[in-house]
Structure 1
Amino acid sequence: MSTAQHTNPNNSPPNEASSDSISDSLEKNELILRHKFQSCYDIVFRKVLIFGHIHVLLVYLDGLVDTRALDTVLLKPWMLEAPRPGLEEISSVDLMLEQQLVSIAKTKTTETMSDVVQSILSANVVILSDGVSNAVIAELKGFEQRAVEEPASETTIRGPREAFTENINVNTSLVRRKIQSTALKMESITVGSLSKTTIVIAYIEGIAKDSIIEEVRKRIRHIQMDTVLDGNFIEEFIEDHPFTLFPQMQSTERPDIVASSLAERRVAVFADGTPFVLILPCSFWSAFQSADDFYERFIYATLIRWLRMLLVITSLFLPSMYVAITTFHSQLLPTNFLLSITSAREGVPFPAVIEAFMMEFLFEGLREAGIRMPRPTGPAVSIVGALVIGQAAVQAGIVSAPMVIVVSLTGIASLITPRYSMGMAFRMLRFPMLIISGMFGLYGITMATIFLLIHLTNLESFGVPYLSPIAPLTKTELKDVLIRAPRWSMHTIPSSGSARNRLRIPKGQQPGGNQGDEAR
């Protein structure tokens, strides 16, 4: 067995290197590849003599190929075993593969050097034979990857305990396990001139709207950039309104959410190298929905959904309402409550709006510090810091105790949003709301709310209104917006802007004594 040889930067390319075609000379092909991979220490060139008379060259990336499988499946049968009777005349590797002399699941041949180079960079083994003007590409990927684990950002009580990984093939297979139908289509597109990142567009044929699928294809194919490392690289290029605070695509690391979204006429976009998948189109109401809503009974899910909506509204308006009422509209408060707040604010040197800004900035800073610090110390620092600094600020007379309570309630309420990106939008909106409330009181809050509703009404996600199905109103789709209706009552699939409604669950499946008697 010959030893592995690494690249030599001193080799110069032959004259035929300018052509993209593979030469029938093994030495010339080797010189071309050594020149292309000059100063790449992790590229391995391995010469092998097969059956005593066939000279081949194996080229692959060290660390990305399963070398154990390469030795046992490919090289051992070629170098240590004698050829079968009648096969002595075979003189090329592609003929051997056609005769099934090696057990490699995925192989293909190519006649261009550019395909050879890209295949090597894609963690494949390229096999070149002397006297043959083509190359065999064998898939023997074997790099380290993270196992399927429990979701870190979208935990559930009763749902599945599996999440996507950084391997796109694993991610698509997790969705395939949940939707075992030939109607599930997955189209691959390569984006990034340097990274060559694989992007997969997944949808269910006959259910997803054709115009949305075509629009997603067109927008992704128009992306021109050097590297794509995450789905956000794609999201910023294909969203409808780039300057709005509200996310127009849903990001998830749960295969069950992707599968259910595909069944509801949506499209999923996978990106290799990230455990998060983009789902589009997206609506405003997805911020109040979590995976647990569909694993718990509909009564519990509806109550929890109402709680989320109430707390999200609280996180947006509570500090500005407190500033507006205590500054401009103190007559709205009961006398005893007003006296309690006034006595607590006695001696505080700042107006209520400055107080609120100071505490909001402090709380947001502690939250970010807790996220960025190491896991063992992050939560302790954020919690202890909030308690110690808040108590010290009250005792020093810098802020009042009611303001600390208001900011604490606001911070807790902002954590209830299942979608992190939507929660970030509400966190950012609190600051302009505070400014307006400090300038114009409740009138300013009312006007800001009207402008916010107008903005949300004008937003679209791939042609679908952002506030649908409430604005515009679609009565048949209200069973999974403000409430979570019983599953047996959701007879049709959401239309996603289409006029058709596909039957999903036939009628007459409501449980009960009468139905049981009829069935008997």
Structure 2
Amino acid sequence: MIRNVSKLVGKTKEKESHLQKNHEDSKPQDTLHKNFNQNVETIRSVYDNCSDVVFRPFLLFGKTRAIIIYIEGLSDIEGIEEFVLSPLMQEPTNEVQSLNEFLEQKMPVSKVKKVNMFADCIESISTGNPILLYEGENNGFSLGLAKWEKRGIEEAVAEAGIRGSREGFNESLEVNTSQLRRIIKSPALKIQTMKIGKYTKTTVAIAYIDGLANKTLIEEITSRLERIEIDGILESGYIEEMIEDNPYSPFPQIMSTERPDIACSNLLEGRAVILVEGTPFTLIAPISFFSLMQSQEDYYQRFLMGTLIRWLRYVFLGISLLLPSLYIAILTFHQEMVPTQLLLSMASSREAVPFPALVEALLMEIMFEAMREAGVRLPKQIGSSVSIVGTLVIGQASVQAGLVSAPMIIVVSITGISSFMMPRYIAGIAIRMLRFPLMILAGTLGLLGIMMGMIAIAIHLCNLRSFGVPYLSPLAPLKTRELKDVLWRSPLWMMDTRPHLTGDANLYRQSSGQEPSPKRAGESD
């Protein structure tokens, strides 16, 4: 036993050291040399068999050998020709005292950074910023001339709304951060960046408002991100899965959005936003269960309509989770709960069905989920048509063939429509997953099984945390001051305090006593 444990520990240490070695060997760690040819050959050996990497030699001011290295498609070739090669290949009218001073202070490029490590040179080239090396110096210059094709700002596809901004994030991190800056113009908006991924070197940014977000929260998010050691980050889902509190929970502990207005509203409430290069979906932390039930339309419409829609969401959340289970339990174990006429009608419709209610419900739910996924994966032009027509044809044919009953088709259809009421897709997935074990409990234990399942879900939610914040906050633990935006949506002029998920700094977000009134200022009764 001890020998097996020691072998396991040895293998773990070997794996960690091998991973660390791979990260260290991924790029040269030495400093640049005085030897110009040696510097060029070292970088050329790193980019061996890379036909898109350009090495453009030239004479600096007609005297000194120099070279500019860049990647086609990632760098601004016109900018290189106009602002680098053209002025530097001309002989200066006045004697240049220091090449370093000239390149740092008089180069017509907005971003110029001196580098003296091979690793920094390779990182700069890989991100699209050309590297300028010249003879006689053991340093080079990174030129801020990165430029590549990017998608324009378009409407958020996954979070469409009737009222509000039509702009959504895109795959460019610079564009996404600029959208946050355009909405929140205060310098208190801080954005910290880091690189994650051995090969992709993906830029990940943490945005927060200094004075609103708890410093402990930002330190915890930064610590979790720095612990990630992986080959590459291709989407924000990679980050979400690596930093969440409980990876085995079906409920998401981090919310994703592609709308800048939603991200900014959460920043103003003291949360942090994680932006990942290459994806329009940003992450928001910490969150609660009730955050997933809120939509941007709740705040863009009048509070009465926002409250009514929110109540409808909670009602249909219960229907989506419990309706098939209740139907199975009542039909299998508790027929006395159904009125006689309705029970006779249901019995006559199930007379030719060869399966019990549990099997019947599982078949239809699995088929419905398959049709839903097929509609998502198919091209937009035919996806919705295939899913709707397929559901109608299969449902009608199944009833006529006697495989399922008509009441079961109605139950599954109402359940599917109810699941579409969830404003967050990730929250809807959790409800869809929990529906199946509840159906099995209902088919084996009846209403007792449903009660046991709901108690287990409630206990799990009470134990769940999102970066240390209780998942059912502010309902459990109860914070009466923060209930203004949970079960109902209070008027904006009443929500003078911000929800404090992470601390008590800067409690008030607006002045009190702003209830609108037709009276003029200074007018009395």
Residues 147-181 of structure 1 deviation map (CA, whole Å, 9 limit, x = unaligned): 11100000111110111111111111111111111
Q: Would you say the 8 A contact 2:211–2:506 is kept in 1?
A: no
Residue 104 (structure 2) pairs with residue 98 (structure 1): yes
Residue 33 (structure 2) pairs with residue 28 (structure 1): no
Of residues 71, 89, 109 in structure 1, which corresponds to 2:96? 89
Residues 24-65 of structure 1 deviation map (CA, whole Å, 9 limit, x = unaligned): 232222111111111111110001123322321000111100
Of residues 65, 73, 88 in structure 2, which corresponds to 1:78? 88
In the TM superposition, what is the alpha-carbon distance from 1:498 to its structure 2 partner?
2.6
2:449 alignment partner, SS class? helix
Q: Are residues 497 and 515 of structure 1, via their aligned partners in 2, closer, same or farther at CA, if it must alter by over 3 Å?
A: farther
In 2: Cα distance, 1:311 partner to 1:18 partner = 58
Aligned to 2:132: 127
Q: Are residues 95 and 262 of structure 1, via their aligned partners in 2, closer, same or farther at CA, if it must alter by over 3 Å?
A: same
Q: Which amino acid counterpart does residue 408 of structure 2 have in structure 1?
A: M
1:518 alignment partner, SS class? coil
In 1: Cα distance, 2:465 partner to 2:171 partner = 30
Residues 265-315 of structure 1 deviation map (CA, whole Å, 9 limit, x = unaligned): 111111111111110111001221111111111111111111111111101
Aligned to 2:269: 264
Q: Are residues 18 and 179 of structure 1, via their aligned partners in 2, closer, same or farther at CA, if it must alter by over 3 Å?
A: closer
Residues 243-252 or 193-202, more deviating: 193-202
Residues 424-456 of structure 1 deviation map (CA, whole Å, 9 limit, x = unaligned): 000011100110000111111112111111111
Aligned to 1:41: 51
Residues 454-504 of structure 1 deviation map (CA, whole Å, 9 limit, x = unaligned): 111111111110000001110110111111110000011111143456111
Q: Which amino acid counterpart does residue 46 of structure 2 have in structure 1?
A: K
Q: Would you say the 8 A contact 1:208–1:265 is kept in 2?
A: yes
In 2: Cα distance, 1:419 partner to 1:337 partner = 36
Aligned to 1:373: 378
In 2: Cα distance, 1:89 partner to 1:237 partner = 53
In 2: Cα distance, 1:107 partner to 1:325 partner = 73
In the TM superposition, what is the alpha-carbon distance from 1:338 to its structure 2 partner?
1.3
Residues 335-344 or 248-257, more deviating: 335-344
In the TM superposition, what is the alpha-carbon distance from 1:99 to its structure 2 partner?
4.1
Q: Which amino acid counterpart does residue 381 of structure 1 have in structure 2?
A: V
In 1: Cα distance, 2:467 partner to 2:29 partner = 44
Q: Which amino acid counterpart does residue 89 of structure 1 have in structure 2?
A: V
Aligned to 1:14: none
Q: Would you say the 8 A contact 1:164–1:255 is kept in 2?
A: yes
In the TM superposition, what is the alpha-carbon distance from 1:380 to its structure 2 partner?
0.8
Residues 114-123 or 494-503, more deviating: 494-503
1:437-452 → structure 2 map (5 Å cutoff): 437-452=442-457
In the TM superposition, what is the alpha-carbon distance from 1:19 to its structure 2 partner?
7.6
Aligned to 1:183: 188
Residue 479 (structure 2) pairs with residue 479 (structure 1): no
Aligned to 1:328: 333
In 1: Cα distance, 2:102 partner to 2:391 partner = 69
Aligned to 2:507: 502
Aligned to 1:409: 414
Q: Would you say the 8 A contact 2:213–2:502 is kept in 1?
A: no
Q: Which amino acid counterpart does residue 319 of structure 2 have in structure 1?
A: T
Residues 491-500 or 327-336, more deviating: 491-500
Residues 296-346 of structure 1 deviation map (CA, whole Å, 9 limit, x = unaligned): 111111111111111111010010111111111111112221121111111
Q: Which amino acid counterpart does residue 421 of structure 2 have in structure 1?
A: I
Q: Which amino acid counterpart does residue 428 of structure 1 have in structure 2?
A: M
Residues 295-304 or 192-201, more deviating: 192-201
In 1: Cα distance, 2:28 partner to 2:281 partner = 41
Q: Are residues 143 and 497 of structure 1, via their aligned partners in 2, closer, same or farther at CA, if it must alter by over 3 Å?
A: closer
In 1: Cα distance, 2:396 partner to 2:345 partner = 18
Q: Would you say the 8 A contact 1:54–1:91 is kept in 2?
A: no
Q: Are residues 396 and 475 of structure 1, via their aligned partners in 2, closer, same or farther at CA, if it must alter by over 3 Å?
A: same
Aligned to 1:280: 285
In 2: Cα distance, 1:439 partner to 1:271 partner = 45
Q: Are residues 99 and 348 of structure 1, via their aligned partners in 2, closer, same or farther at CA, if it must alter by over 3 Å?
A: closer
Q: Would you say the 8 A contact 2:32–2:39 is kept in 1?
A: yes
In 1: Cα distance, 2:477 partner to 2:317 partner = 22
In the TM superposition, what is the alpha-carbon distance from 1:394 to its structure 2 partner?
0.3
Residues 179-188 or 492-501, more deviating: 492-501
In 2: Cα distance, 1:451 partner to 1:501 partner = 37
Of residues 341, 361, 374 in structure 2, which corresponds to 1:356? 361
Q: Are residues 378 and 89 of structure 1, via their aligned partners in 2, closer, same or farther at CA, if it must alter by over 3 Å?
A: same
Which runs of 5 or more structure 2 residues have no equivalent in the other structure? 1-26
Of residues 68, 73, 86 in structure 2, which corresponds to 1:63? 73
In 1: Cα distance, 2:460 partner to 2:511 partner = 38
In 2: Cα distance, 1:178 partner to 1:296 partner = 20
Residue 218 (structure 2) pairs with residue 218 (structure 1): no
Residues 181-208 of structure 1 deviation map (CA, whole Å, 9 limit, x = unaligned): 1111111121112211111111111111
Residue 265 (structure 2) pairs with residue 252 (structure 1): no
Q: Would you say the 8 A contact 1:494–1:501 is kept in 2?
A: no
In 1: Cα distance, 2:43 partner to 2:449 partner = 68
Q: Which amino acid counterpart does residue 96 of structure 2 have in structure 1?
A: E
Which runs of 5 or more structure 1 residues have no equivalent in the other structure? 1-16
In the TM superposition, what is the alpha-carbon distance from 1:231 to its structure 2 partner?
1.4
1:92-241 → structure 2 map (5 Å cutoff): 92=99, 94-100=100-106, 102-241=107-246
Residue 313 (structure 2) pairs with residue 308 (structure 1): yes
Q: RMSD of aligned C-alpha atoms?
A: 1.7
Aligned to 1:453: 458
Q: Normalization by structure 1: what TM-score?
A: 0.93
In the TM superposition, what is the alpha-carbon distance from 1:91 to its structure 2 partner?
6.1
Q: Would you say the 8 A contact 1:495–1:501 is kept in 2?
A: no
Q: Normalization by structure 2: what TM-score?
A: 0.92
Q: Which amino acid counterpart does residue 338 of structure 2 have in structure 1?
A: L
In the TM superposition, what is the alpha-carbon distance from 1:517 to its structure 2 partner?
6.1
Q: Are residues 402 and 141 of structure 1, via their aligned partners in 2, closer, same or farther at CA, if it must alter by over 3 Å?
A: same
Of residues 393, 402, 417 in structure 2, which corresponds to 1:388? 393
In 1: Cα distance, 2:157 partner to 2:447 partner = 40
Aligned to 1:423: 428
Q: Which amino acid counterpart does residue 36 of structure 1 have in structure 2?
A: V
In 2: Cα distance, 1:519 partner to 1:97 partner = 69
2:253 alignment partner, SS class? coil
1:119 alignment partner, SS class? helix
